[in-house]
Structure 1
Amino acid sequence: MDNLVSTEWLAAELGKPDLVVLDCTTYLPTEKGNAPDGFRSAHLPGARLFNIDRIADPHTDLPHMVPTPAHFAKMIGALGVSNDTRVVFYDQHGLRASPRGWWMMRLFGHERAAVLDGGLPKWQREGRPVETGDAPDATPATFIPDMVAKRLAGIGDIKRIVRQGGGEALILDARSKARFDGTAPEPRAGLPSGHMPGAASLPAADIVNPDGTMKDVATLKALFAARGADGERPIVTSCGSGVTATVLTLGALRAGLPEPSVYDGSWTEWAGRPETPKETSAS
């Protein structure tokens, strides 16, 4: 199963018993609206809502952190996903948060997962059918997780990379260049902007076309290469809270690079810790 599927492909596969379609959308604190209301307004036929704020670690103040394997298995099983299920994630915004769901499936050992290129907006522009209201309860399924630890990075990993001067791995930051530089505020109140020493800026928006589809492979290769991705040094992706970092992870795979790990706590965790070094473009 390809990691990125087209609306044409999905339209032909909808309704097959081994396929589950999940809306994985998130809104920044500064944005109006929320994922459940957006889902009720319009969703793909038969889709269910993958709520990243609920399918998360309930024992931390950090936003939508990865849950334990047991908690993930319970939540994803309740959505009707088993180890034999093909899962396609889409986004109400195009291609922004949907890779988070795709990456979580991969983190817990499930490779039969994909992202819908262009998301709900492309689907609707093409005049394809949608449904409204809440999704009916799914028939529960059994999902047995097999966590692939190398796909997840923690703050200790980032501290080590920064301390060693970046030679161990390349940190790619998916936030806007202005937030990376420290010239624009973070969307979370009280959090300074800036970046980790040695990190490189590759905004997730730069690898996505205006229509919400991912850029072509040649362009992706050039964008990653320009930031120092050479296929040899491992990559760790980061962002504000571990969501758009996964857009870069998907893009790196599309570009033929080894799969990056994702720093789940991302800038929200790093910037909120007093002992971590932070830089701005002026520092």
Structure 2
Amino acid sequence: MLPLLLEPSELAKHLDDDKLLIIDLGKPTIYVQAHVPGAIHLDFKRLQSGAQPAPGMIPSDDALSDLFSSLGLTPDTHVVAYDDEGGGWAGRLLWTLDAIGHKHYSYLNGGIHAWLSEGLPTSSESPEPVPSDYEVGEHDPQTEVDLAYLLAHYQDTDLALWDSRSEEEYAGVRAFAQKAGHIPGAIHYEWTEAMDRSNNLRLRPLDDIRAELEARGITPDKEVICHCQTHHRSSFSWLVAKILGYPRVRGYAGSWAEWGNHPDTPAEKPNP
């Protein structure tokens, strides 16, 4: 069984494994030049419903069944996801898999940048997946959070709301919804803070990330709910918390696009 956080050198030893599905969620222009051998490209737009006002919602079960069947997913397939941006879209794929109960997955640490930096083999060929007949089953209620749950629980003392957006969005200086600011009580830790830009976008030392999160109140004894604007950036935050071993971590797919456009939701800004 491959670990959740997978190093490029380790994946390189398993490229020929049966039941391994490597999915590249980077830019098509990069994929056609160089990708992990055997990797299948996936347009990240298919991981979100795209419907306004909350385009980050998870697609319907029928849409996801069609998508994962086209990729050749089976219940015992182990998925390795990576991208070219440090883990946002790879995280969204893995969160989606977790939400539909598919728990066999890994994240390639650093994605294509880390793979290339180690001089590992690449391919420019686009393999055709062998279609499967994948049926999305019952969702895991411990992976997703909806607006009703968050409205009922956002003030709970044993809940930590992890806001992964930029500092400007959190502060209400920039807004991509009718309301500006953040959910009252939300804790800001921008998704890119966990990335090491000097090490090909791999995760920074896990102990450092853990210490920073705990210092801000995002602690493993709490239920942690991650959100951004459309649950793209915060899918990576969700993944980071999973890698750190947080036992209760969920994603809010509606994110600020839903919360910030809803008439009944409170919004907060820092005191000037």
Shift of the 255–15 alpha-carbon distance from structure 1 to 2, 3 Å rule, reads same
1:126 aligns with 2:127: no
Q: Contact (CA 8 Å) 1:56, 1:72: kept in 2 or not?
A: no
The 3 A distance-change label for structure 1 pair 54 and 251 is closer
Structure 2's unaligned 5+ residue stretches are none
Question: Aligned to 2:191, which of 201, 204, 212?
Answer: 204
In structure 2, what is the equivalent of residue 223 of structure 1? 212
Check conservation: 1:238, 1:263, Cα contact below 8 A.
yes
2:48 aligned with 1:47: no
Contact 2:222 2:248 in 1 (8 A): no
Name the counterpart of 1:265.
254
What SS does the corresponding residue of 1:149 show, helix, strand or coil? coil
C-alpha distance in 2 between matches for 1:49 and 1:60: 26
Structure 1 unaligned blocks of 5 or more? 26-34
Segment drifting more, 64-73 vs 261-270: 64-73
What residue in structure 2 maps to residue 138 of structure 1? Answer: 129
Deviations 1:240-276 (A, max 9, x none): 2101212222222222321311000111111122332
Q: Distance in 2 between matches of 1:201 and 1:176?
A: 8
1:215 shift after superposition: 2.3
Structure 1 residue 81 displacement after superposition: 1.2
TM-score scaled by length of structure 1: 0.86
Q: Which of 202, 227, 234 is the aligned partner of 1:245?
A: 234
2:153 aligned partner: 161
Q: Name which structure has the greater RCO, CA cutoff 8 Å, separation 6+.
A: 2
Say which SS state the counterpart of residue 150 (structure 1) adopts.
coil
Rounded Cα–Cα distance in structure 1 between residues aligned with 2:33 and 2:210: 37
C-alpha distance 193-48 of structure 1, shift in aligned 2 (>3 A): farther
Residues 1:191 and 1:120: Cα distance change in structure 2 (over 3 Å): farther
Q: CA deviation at 1:177?
A: 2.0
Residue of structure 2 in register with 1:8 after alignment? 9
Per-residue CA distance 1:62-91 (angstroms, 9 max, x = gap): 324212233212211211111111110001
TM-score (norm 2): 0.89
The alpha-carbon deviation at position 59 of structure 1 amounts to 5.5
CA apart distance, 1:169: 1.8
RMSD: 2.1
Q: Is the 8 A contact 1:83 1:142 kept in 2?
A: no
CA contact (8 A) 2:179 2:267 kept: no
Which amino acid in 1 is paired with 2:7? S
Aligned length in residues:
268
For the structure 1 residues 267 and 126, does the alpha-carbon distance in structure 2 shift closer, same or farther, using more than 3 Å as the test?
same
Corresponding residue for 1:21?
22
Aligned CA distance change for structure 1 residues 119 and 191 (closer, same or farther; 3 Å): farther
Query: Does the 8 Å CA contact 1:220/1:254 hold for their aligned counterparts?
Result: no
Match of 1:109 among 101, 104, 110: 101
> Distance in 1 between the 2:86 and 2:61 partners?
28
